[in-house]
Structure 1
C-alpha cells in the first residue's frame, strides 16, 4: 500500500477514534494521547497483514483507552472536590436520528453515568450502542468471547436506561434555563430560575484543587438557589458570558480579562426540568475550551 494510502486510512478513522476515546476517558487531552499512541502503532505495524484498517485501529485505540482509564481511576481517588468530564464544544442537535444519538452521548450527565461502569463494560457499550461496531469486532477489541460482550452491553444498557441520562431536551427549554440562570447571577433574583429547576436539583463544581470553588455537592432548591443568587452573583459579576454549545447541549463559557474562567452546563429530566448544574473551574480542563478553532470532538461512525 502506498504510504499516502496508509495516512489516508488513519485520517479517515481519526474522528471516530477521537470520539470513542473521549467518551471512554472523559478527557480531551487523554483522548488525543490515546489516538496519538494508536497512530504511532499504526506507523510501525506490518500493514500488509491488516485486512480491515478501521477495525484494527478501533481495537488498538480501545485497548489503549482502557489502560488509560484504569490509571485515571486510581488518580481520581485523590481528586480534590467533584470530578467532572473535560468540557468540549459540541453542537446541540435538535433533530432526531444519528446526530441526536452522537450528541446525546456527549452530554455531561451521560458521561458521568458511564463513570459508574467498569472499563470494559463502558467500552463495549459505546462501541455497540453509539458507534455501531458489531459484536465480533468488539470481542476482538476487548479480548473476550462474543457472548460475554453481549452481557456487558446488556448490563450497561440497563444501567443507563435506569439513570434516564440519555435523552434530548428541546432547545427552547435549554435557552430559557440559560437565560434565567444568567439573570439570577446578574441580579440575585432567583424566582424565575426556581420555576425551571427540579425539586431535587444538584449543583457540583470541579476546581481540581487549583481554584476556589464549592467542594461538596449542593442539593435541593433552597441550597442551590442561595448559592447562585448570593455567591455566584458576588464572584461572577466581572465575567463576560458567552452562550455556546457544550457537550451536545446549551451552556455558557465565562471569561475574565479574555481568559476562560468557568464553564457551565446542565442536565434535565424527561419533563424538561433541570436536575443538575455542572460548573467546571479547573484551569487544566478549560485550557482547550478557550482555543480559537479548537472545533468539536463529537466523533463519527466509521464505515466498516
Structure 2
C-alpha cells in the first residue's frame, strides 16, 4: 500500500508527465536515508556519494509504471549497488597499505544543517569497524534490520532473498559482531571528558595520567594510507598504546598543528589542521571510565572532504 507522499508522487508524475523536477524532489526527499545506508555499508564518504549518483541515474531512467513506492525502490537500488561495490572492493582492500579505517564525517549541526544523516551509535568508528567482519549480504541485512528497523518482508524484497534465509543471515551477523559490542552505552559527556584528558596528557607528556585513562585491552589503530604518517599495525595493551600515543605518533606529526574538538561520526573527536587544512582525525571508543580504542586517521584521501579550519573573526 502506498503512503501519502508516495500517492502524491504517483499522481504528480501522471499529471506532469514524470517531470525531472518531480523526480529530483522525490530523490532529495530520501537522500539522507540513502546516504545513511550507503555510508554505513561502505565506510567511505566518496563511495557513498558515488552510489547515490548511480542510484539517481537509475531513478531517472526508470519508467513510472515500474515504481510502486519511491522509497522502497530507492532503498533497493542503493542496497544492491553497495553490495556490488563491497564485493568488487574486497580485492582492493586486501592490497591497502597498513590498517584500514572508515572515512570520518563531521556530524555537528553546521556540517549537516538539515539533519539528513541518521546519527546514532551505528555511525561510530567502532561500529563501522565491526561491519568489516561481515560479508556484504550480512552487512546489508544487519543494517536494514537492526539500524533502520525494516521488517523482514521489506528486506526480502530489497535483497531478493526469502525470509528464512534473511533470518539465518541476520543470526550469523549477530554472532559475528554481538560479542564485540559494548554492554553499556557511555554518555557523550564522559567520552568528551576522557578525550580532553587524553589530549592534555599526551600534549604535556604526562605518562602516568595517560596510563590511567587506558583500559587493559586498549587498542590503537592508525590509518595513513601508506603515507608513512601512521603506525602500520594494530597496537595492543596499555604500555604499548601509551608509548605509541606519547612517542610514536607525536614524532610522526608536525609540531605546528592546530587541534579542535569536533563531532566526528556522532561522537567527540579531535581534528588537527596544518596550514588550515585537515591533517588528522582522532576518535576514541570509550567505556565509563577508560578508553578502549584509539583511532587515528592521517590518510589525506580520507580527509579531503572535511571542511578547512574556520577563520577567526578579526
TM-score range, shorter chain: 0.7 to 0.9
Separation (CA, whole Å) in 2 of partners of 1:259 and 1:125: 36
| Distance verdict in 2 for CA 1:259–1:204, change over 3 Å | same
2:42/2:86 contact within 8 Å kept: yes
Separation (CA, whole Å) in 2 of partners of 1:65 and 1:292: 32
Bigger relative contact order (CA 8 A; separation at least 6): 1
Aligned-pair CA distance for 1:74:
1.1
Match of 2:62 among 45, 48, 53: 45
Separation (CA, whole Å) in 2 of partners of 1:147 and 1:292: 50
Report the counterpart of residue 302 of structure 1 in structure 2.
Answer: none
Greater mean deviation of Cα atoms: 164-173 or 175-184: 164-173
Indicate the structure (1 or 2) with the bigger Cα radius of gyration: 2
Aligned-pair CA distance for 1:190:
2.3
Report the counterpart of residue 255 of structure 1 in structure 2.
Answer: 273
Match of 2:202 among 155, 178, 185: 185
Separation (CA, whole Å) in 2 of partners of 1:133 and 1:169: 26
Report the counterpart of residue 263 of structure 2 in structure 1.
Answer: 245
Match of 2:126 among 96, 102, 109: 109
Report the counterpart of residue 298 of structure 1 in structure 2.
Answer: none
Matches within 5 A, 1:123-272: 123-165=140-182, 168-234=185-251, 235-269=253-287, 271-272=288-289
The superposition leaves residues 1-40 of structure 1 with CA deviations (integer Å, 9 ceiling, x where unpaired) of 0323322211111100000000000001000100110000
2:201/2:210 contact within 8 Å kept: yes
Please tell me the root mean square deviation across aligned C-alpha atoms, in Å: 2.1
Aligned-pair CA distance for 1:291:
5.2
Query: SS at 1:262's partner residue?
Result: strand
Greater mean deviation of Cα atoms: 232-241 or 107-116: 232-241
The superposition leaves residues 245-270 of structure 1 with CA deviations (integer Å, 9 ceiling, x where unpaired) of 1111111000111111100011124x
Separation (CA, whole Å) in 2 of partners of 1:47 and 1:272: 55
Query: SS at 2:306's partner residue?
Result: helix
Query: SS at 2:231's partner residue?
Result: coil
Aligned-pair CA distance for 1:292:
7.9
Aligned-pair CA distance for 1:157:
2.5
Report the counterpart of residue 290 of structure 1 in structure 2.
Answer: 307
Q: How many residues align?
A: 285
| Distance verdict in 2 for CA 1:251–1:217, change over 3 Å | same
Separation (CA, whole Å) in 1 of partners of 2:289 and 2:136: 31
Q: Any gaps of 5 or more consecutive residues in structure 2?
A: 1-12, 110-115
Provide TM-score, normalisation by structure 1.
0.88
Separation (CA, whole Å) in 2 of partners of 1:150 and 1:144: 10
Report the counterpart of residue 56 of structure 1 in structure 2.
Answer: 73
Separation (CA, whole Å) in 2 of partners of 1:167 and 1:21: 27
Provide TM-score, normalisation by structure 2.
0.85
Q: Any gaps of 5 or more consecutive residues in structure 1?
A: 93-98, 294-304
The superposition leaves residues 273-304 of structure 1 with CA deviations (integer Å, 9 ceiling, x where unpaired) of 211100001000001123589xxxxxxxxxxx
Separation (CA, whole Å) in 2 of partners of 1:59 and 1:154: 21
Aligned-pair CA distance for 1:143:
1.6
| Distance verdict in 2 for CA 1:283–1:206, change over 3 Å | same
Please identify runs of 4+ aligned residues in structure 1 that moved more than 4 A. none
